Structures are given as C-alpha cells and as structure tokens.
Amino acid sequence: MSTINASQVQHIAKLAQIPITDNEAERLHDDFKKTLEVIDQLTELDTTNVEPTNQITGLENVCREDNVDQAHSFTQEEALQNASNTYQGYFVVPKILEK
Amino acid sequence: MKTNLAHLTLAQQLKALKNGELTLTELYSELTNSIEQKNPHLNIYLNLDREALSKANSVKFKPLAGLPIAVKDNFCTKDLYTTASSKILEKMRPPFNSTVVNKIQEAGGVVIGKTNLDAWAHGSSTETSDFGRTLNPRNPDYLPGGSSGGSAAAVAAELCSAAIGSETAGSIRQPAAWCGVVGLKPTYGRVSRYGVAAMASSTDSPGPMTKTVEDAAILLNYLAGCDPLDATTSPSAVPDYTQALNKSIKGLKIGVLYQDLKGLESIQPLFQKELSVFKELGAIVEPVAALDPHYAISVYTVIQRAEVSSNLARLDGVRYGLDRTHFGDEAKRRIMLGTYALSKGYADKYYLLAQKVRTLFTKDFAKLFNQFDVLISPTSPGFAKKVGSSEGAAMFGELEDMLLEPSSIAGLPGISVPCYQDPDTKLFLGMNIVASMLHEPLMITVADAYEKNSSWNSWRLSQSN
C-alpha cells in the first residue's frame, strides 16, 4: 500500500516548481492518497517477463535532414510577441543566483 | 428567408452550397445570431473570429467551401487567442498554426471560433475550465463531458458545421456521447499533434466531432496524414474514408465488451437492445471477455500524470504565458503526481509497472482482433452528470472514461455514435466502436450502418439523406 505524507507533498511541489501553501499541501495529500489507491491495483496483475510499452506506433528512427527550415522559424518579433517581459529584443528571465 | 440552415449536416451544407440552394452569407448570418443568443448561457465559444465570413468567401471554391469549423482552444491558431482554457495562456496569440488548423484551412474550412475545454484538457466535464463551465445544450442542468466539451456542445447546439476535438483517453468520445453527437478518435499518429497544447504525448489524438458518421469521414479525409513536424505520425497512405460509407456489414464479426462489468447495470439493457440492429444487418454479434478496464484507469493515471508533469514543465512564464503560480488545482494535482511517479525510487514502482500493464492491454486487444473485426461497448458508464459533479472529485474523469481508456492506451481508433436518448432528460448514451490500428474504414462502415438503421441520430431523424 503506497502512502505519502504532507512533507513529501511539499518536497514534490518544490521539485515541480509549484509553490503551494500548507493548506493546499493538506488537500493535495488527500487527493494523492485516493489516486495512489487506484494506481496500487496494478500490483494485482502478473507482469513477470512482460516488456514495458515504450511506444505504440512501431515507427523507428524517424529523422529529417539537418537543414534550417525557414517556413517554421519565428522572426525575433514573433518569438517575443507573447513574452511578459522583454528588453531590447531579449527575454527577461527571473534571477536565480543570490548575491 | 431560409431558416435552420445550421440544422443541415456538413455533407448536406456542401451539397446545398454547390447547388446554389444556400449561400455562405445566409449560413454565417444565421450562425452569428444563434451564437449571440445561446453562447452567453451555454459558454461554448471562448473566442470568435469576427473575420470568419470574409475568410469563408475567399475559400469558397475549395473542397470544404468555406464552412465554419469550431476548434477546441488547445489547437494553436495563428494570431487568434489560444488559451487551453487556462488563465496562464489567457493572452497568448500563437505566431503559428497547428497542423490540424492548417489542414482545415487548406481544405477550405474556416475556424469560426475556439471552444471551451477543461483547463489544459485535464478533465472530463469542461467544468475545470478557468473561464467557466460549458453547459450541455441538450439539457443545461447537465455537463457536456470533456475535455472537448465545448466542441461537442457546439455541434449539438448547431453553432458550427462541424468541430475539432482532441482525445487523450475519452476526451472526444465521452463528450460526443454526453451531447448526442458523433466523435471520432483516430489511431494514435494518424492525425498530427503539432501545435496542440500537449497533455499526454503518447496518447493525444486530434479528431472530428460531427453531426453524422458521414461528416466525420469527410473531415478525417482532410485531417489525416503524415506530418514532418510530428515524428509519431504514420507514413501509411490515407484512404478515402468516405468510401467506407454505405457498405454492408453482413458477416462482420462484432465483439461486445464489458457485458458483466459492475456499474453499468442501469444502461446495459438500453445498450443491449441496440445490438439487434447489427444482427438484422447480418453481422455476427458475440459477447467477449476482455482485460478489466479498471486496470486501464490505473495505467492511464500513471502515464498521463507523468507525461503531464513533463509537458507542462515548459511553462516557465518567460517566453509566453504567466508563471507557474497560476496553475489551477487540477493541473497542480496532475503535475505533482506525475513528478512523484517519475521521481527516484518510484519510477520503477509506478511508471515502469504501468507501461508493462499497458503491454498486457495491447496483447489483449491483439487477441480480440484475431476473433473480431470491431469491438463495441457503451461509451460512458452512464448519462451526462449534473452541473457541479466534478468538483472535488480527484478521479472524476478517469471513472467516466473507464470504458475508453483501454483503447486509448493501446492507440486504437474508436468512434462514439448516439445509441439512446432519454425521453425525459433529453440526454444521450453513446456506443463506442473500436477497430485495430489504422482500421478506421472498418469502424466507419459499422458506425455508419448502425446510424442509418437506428433511430437515435438527431440529424438523420428529421432529414432523409
């Protein structure tokens, strides 16, 4: 039986870069429990010697020529048109290093 | 003035345009009035293209003749807002079209508007949209299903000629069933995913949602095909799907799934009664045992959460959209569960095990398709649920989509057609018809034969074809 505690939920939130409050952690913890119960049913089946499905199409080595495809390239203006913060033609990203 | 032009099927509209019995101006003017009247209440369209009529007139000599197509709002449309029903993308205007939208436009279809969905397509109710729930046009006290609930409702309410949805595990077929329309989920890789907000990349499949099977076959002709921008698309030649219409099903073997499954008792008699339609047409109909679909829920839950956490990792608020604090509850739940299922120490326990059980499903289907041409079952365990039902229910969608998940994780094509309407609530049940990989024509033949010989299609009832 899989279990998970509230501090694990906070740790996962950090890994997923989703800030959550303690109240949210508590609620998510309940949802996790319900979902994990459903997932645990899988252990009832015999999967000895069963290969995992890595993909279902059966296609192999789908490649293309390594050429620049102008038809599917953005202009600088297009690339920036949905950014919330730009500076002289660049994206502005949040600072991650403290002084 | 002619009225009720929107009640014609896509095939009938094409014919009427060709014969000069209908003009695009008449059709669009009727639709615009109808949308103004119904949309504020039903909340089907999030955004409309006000230029649609002039765009339609400029493509009227192409095969789709300028007909209005409703597109789920997780398909990128150049310069037209594409939100995936999430506040994060509220102001996102893509600089490119998804392949599906390109193909519709090349064929002469016009994107009339973008339809509501569960935020990020995470759900089966269209109730988790950040822009409010969509109501079921058949009965507005009920949900339309989801996640392509807006597209299903747009067809049911006759606010478009046809619609486009996307399905990961039930998101085309379940809302089609709940709204009493036709929903076709193609084989995984038959229709390109390029430019669709990714949910679970290993099962996402765009497809048509229409009034009739014939309309779905017509649209699939334009949607299907290999796309260099989506490496999972099939290089197999695209057949003319309309050639699969009006064919005999005599001698075809139809396997009936999930006859003894618990939870279907209330709808099983209504569904079973419809099997006589196939028998009268000379098909061989037999019940058959399959792997319990409850296990597909577990497989799907793991794989989908895992792929969601990976796909939504790209949303950093830098290049487009708001930052990650703006995710809704459902997206947070799914991203975090996926992160957990893929984290060190748990990836084998959950993800690898789920992929092994997925293999068991693929093998089970291979065995079944040795015996049968198509497999059928109810689309959903019941009728549409009341407004508010999905709130606080962590596994709502997975349970409602239980009968569809096995075929989704195996990548198989399926189509849902209306197979009953409740005389009191006006709500529908759907029948799900599944074929083996790339055997859409067979599935279309069976669905078309059923539709034409049963009495549940709203558009065939009032107009003979």
Kindly state the average pLDDT of the residues B347-366: 95
Residue-wise pLDDT tens digits, A46-93: 999 999 999 999 999 899 889 998 888 999 999 999 999 999 999 999
Beta-carbon separation of B335 and A81 below 8 A: no
CB contact under 8 A, B319 and A82: yes
Residue B177 pLDDT class (50, 70, 90 cuts):
very high
Task: Give pLDDT, residue A2.
Answer: 63
**Tokens linked to B358:** 């997925």
- Chain B nearest-CA distance from A33, in A, is 10
What pLDDT sits at residue B212? Answer: 98
What pLDDT sits at residue A28? 87
Q: Is the ipTM of this complex over 0.85?
A: yes
User: Strand (E) positions, B162-243?
Assistant: 162-167, 182-185, 205-210
Query: How does pLDDT run across B389-437, given as a tens digit for each residue?
Result: 998 777 788 888 999 999 999 999 999 999 999 999 999 999 999 999 9
Residues ≥6 apart with Cβ < 8 Å to A10: A20, A25
Question: How far apart are the CA of A94 and the nearest CA of chain B, in angstroms?
Answer: 8
**Degrees, nearest 5: CA angle B61-A70-B108:** 15
CB hemisphere CA count around A39 (13 angstroms) = 30
Per-residue confidence (pLDDT) for residue B2, from 0 to 100: 57
Residue type for position A2: S
C-alpha pair distances (Å), B226 with each of A63, A66, B66, B69, B234? 13, 19, 24, 22, 5
Total length of chain B: 465
> At B166, which amino acid appears?
S
Contacts of A47 in chain B (CB under 8 A): 353, 356-357, 360
Q: Report whether pLDDT(A15) > 50.
A: yes
Instruction: Report the pLDDT value the prediction gives residue A84, as an integer from 0 to 100.
Output: 92
Catalytic positions of B, written as ranges: 72, 147, 171
Instruction: Determine the pLDDT at residue B162.
Output: 98
* 8 Å CB contact of A57 and B353: no
Instruction: For B78-116, write each residue's pLDDT tens digit.
Output: 999 999 999 999 999 999 999 999 999 999 999 999 999
- Taking an 8 Å cut-off on Cβ atoms, the answer to whether B332 and A28 are in contact is yes
Q: Which residue has the tokens 């016009």?
A: B110
Binning pLDDT at 50, 70 and 90, where does residue A26 land? confident
B189: closest CA of chain A, how far (Å) = 7
Rounded to the nearest integer, the mean pLDDT of chain B is 95
* Residues of B in Cβ contact (< 8 Å) with A79: 95, 319
| Per-residue pLDDT at B465 | 42
pTM: 0.96
Main-chain phi, psi angles of A17, to 5 degrees:
55, 45
Residues in B touching A71 (Cβ below 8 Å): none
**Helices A6-15 & B329-342, crossing angle to 10 degrees?**
90
What's the rounded mean pLDDT across residues B164-181?
Answer: 97
Q: Confidence band (pLDDT; 50, 70, 90) for A97?
A: confident
User: What's the pLDDT score for residue B464?
Assistant: 47
pLDDT confidence band for B344 (50 / 70 / 90):
confident
